[in-house]
Structure 1
Amino acid sequence: MKNIFIVVFVLFCFGAKAQTATATDVKFPAADSSPADILYFPVNTPKAKTGEFKTPIIKIIYSRPQKKGRNVFGVLEEFGKVWRFGANESTEIHFFKKVTVGGKKIKAGTYSLFAIPNKDKWTIILNSNIDRWGAFTYDQSKDIIRVDVPTKVLVKPLEYFSLTFTGSASGADLIIGWDKTLVELPISFKP
């Protein structure tokens, strides 16, 4: 009995020491200054309670850069240049079913989102190249569609790049806002 106790004690001490050494050797990255976020349509899809299951139609994964006192569009993000539509990895939009954007039918699937901001309008781009960092490897030949949308001026500037959806008669509008700029991209679910 004494031998079993000694063996168990030694194994316990060795195991605890091995776990402690491993845990202290791990170096975790610092929190990102542009946190990742996920947006669904319908907006409350992931928060549905038991018995209220909602089928998602659209999911967007993006990072949210901050204004930090800077002038964003036309300065930080130059007019007329392709922008990654957020920060860090390219923003990705997943359609769970076929949709229509800018009059073109888009198959269900995942696409990257880019924009070319200008003062009076933005060109919103759906591109088939996914899992990329920023717009550094953006390839125009992979564009699925480009849609021009007018800009609106926000009364109160937004600190974080922000996305949301509002319902519409034919589907949903993707609302994009940052600093003093707001744009809307209509997305139709009707065949």
Structure 2
Amino acid sequence: MRILVNNHLRLAVLFVALCCSSYLISCDNRNTPATNNKILVTPARTPAQQDASTVSLDKSPMDMIYYPVDFTKQKMVHAVEEPLVARVIYSRPKKDNRVIFGDVIQYNTPWRLGANEATEIEFFKPVSINNQPVKTGRYIMYCVPTPDQWTIVFNTDLFTWGLKFDSTKDVYKFTVPVNTSPVPYERFTMEFQKASKGIELHIAWDSTYASVPILY
């Protein structure tokens, strides 16, 4: 009989303990923020917030051109038709309603042929420009314009900004005539074009352009 009473007593104590534990847990849950049972969604940043937290885009984007024009695409699919001849790396400022030649670009004054870093041209084989042989290699390129002709200059002072280079490292100079484009170019543009002999580097901005003949 005593054993039975003791067992009932133990069961009663256990029951009370369980009830107390359940009560404490429920109280704790009521004090816990409701967000614990919800998925928090962080709103996407607005374009203005993104611009404020990242480096702003350059107004004069950098571009790269090759000859042959589609060389890199051909190389990716193993269908190269002609070996690489030349490459140009340059930046492309906009006209943006400005007077370009004679104002933004002063005549008889060196012009970087682009913006930001010095424009670079690289030849992957020996070439000839205006009957001058040009060695394989990489050069920065700038121009001294006049209303009728441009003097194109190659220089070996690589990895420079704008016109902050050593002019004593000029190695080649070529004079090319200036032409008027029937359609103005909003952005400064360079492109290689096939010519009857060799190729031409077409350099254009606003309604003015010049072409550098390249034989190889």
Q: Normalising to structure 2: TM-score of the pair?
A: 0.72
Matched with 1:8 is: none
Q: Distance in 2 between matches of 1:88 and 1:102?
A: 28
The 4+ residue runs of structure 1 with deviation greater than 3 A are: none
Query: d(CA) in 2 for partners of 1:138 and 1:151?
Result: 25
Kindly state the Cα deviation for residue 157 of structure 1 after the two structures are TM-superposed.
Answer: 1.3
Q: CA RMSD in A?
A: 1.3
1:36 to 62, 66, 77: 62
Which amino acid letter does the alignment assign opposite residue 98 of structure 1? P
Cα displacement string for residues 23-61 of structure 1 (whole angstroms, at most 9, x for unaligned residues): xxxx64211000000000011111215231243110100
CA distance in 2, matches of 1:168, 1:187: 9
- The equivalent residue for 1:170 is 197
Q: Which residue of 2 aligns with 1:107?
A: 135
CA distance in 1, matches of 2:70, 2:102: 34
Select the structure of larger CA radius of gyration: 2
Q: Where do residues 57-76 of structure 1 align in structure 2 (5 Å cutoff)?
A: 57-76=85-104
More strand by share: 1
2:153 paired residue number: 125
Larger relative contact order, structure 1 or 2 (CA cutoff 8 Å, min sep 6): 1
Q: CA deviation at 1:139?
A: 2.8
What is the CA–CA distance in structure 2 between the aligned matches of 1:170 and 1:119, rounded to whole Å? 27
User: In the alignment, what sits opposite 2:5?
Assistant: none
After TM superposition, the score normalised by the length of structure 1 is 0.81
Structure 1 regions of 5+ residues with no counterpart? Answer: 1-26
Instruction: Specify the alignment match of 2:108 in structure 1.
Output: 80
In the alignment of these two chains, the number of paired residues is 162
Is residue 2:50 matched to residue 1:50? no
Structure 2 counterpart SS, 1:46: helix
Which structure shows the bigger proportion of residues in helix conformation? 2
Unaligned 5+ runs, structure 2 = 1-52
Deviation of the 1:73 alpha carbon: 1.0
**1:157-181 Cα deviation digits (max 9, x unpaired):** 1100001111124321000110110
Deviations 1:54-103 (A, max 9, x none): 43110100000100000111100100000111011000001011111222
**Aligned partner of 2:117: which letter?**
E
Percentage of pairs with the same residue: 36
1:186 is aligned to 213
